[in-house]
Amino acid sequence: MLEYKVRAARIDAHGSLARTKEAEITLDTDVGGRADAFNPAELFLAAIAACMIKGIERVTPMLNFELRGVEVALHAVRQDAPPKIISVDYELI
């Protein structure tokens, strides 16, 4: 079994910081939003993209296949009441 640990803490009214291992990411937890950090929905999409790319990285050596690159473009739609993501579309390039 694999285990993962992440700790996140509010820095101020404009953002928070999440940490794991030797990495950290600034989170947009400002109710007004901020352009220099991922908000929770964007972080969710980034996690999906990372899972897809990591899966590709794992399978290509087994297939003896070399990549020139991989790109995933994701688009989500969120409803307000109640707040939830109602769809996620992606394009694998």
All residue ranges of the chain with pLDDT < 50 are none
Q: DSSP 3-state assignment of 33?
A: coil
Q: Residue 17 is encoded by which pair of tokens?
A: 């910081």
The closest alpha carbon to 85, from 54, 52, 51, 47, belongs to 47
How does pLDDT run across 38-60, given as a tens digit for each residue? Answer: 999 999 999 999 999 999 999 99
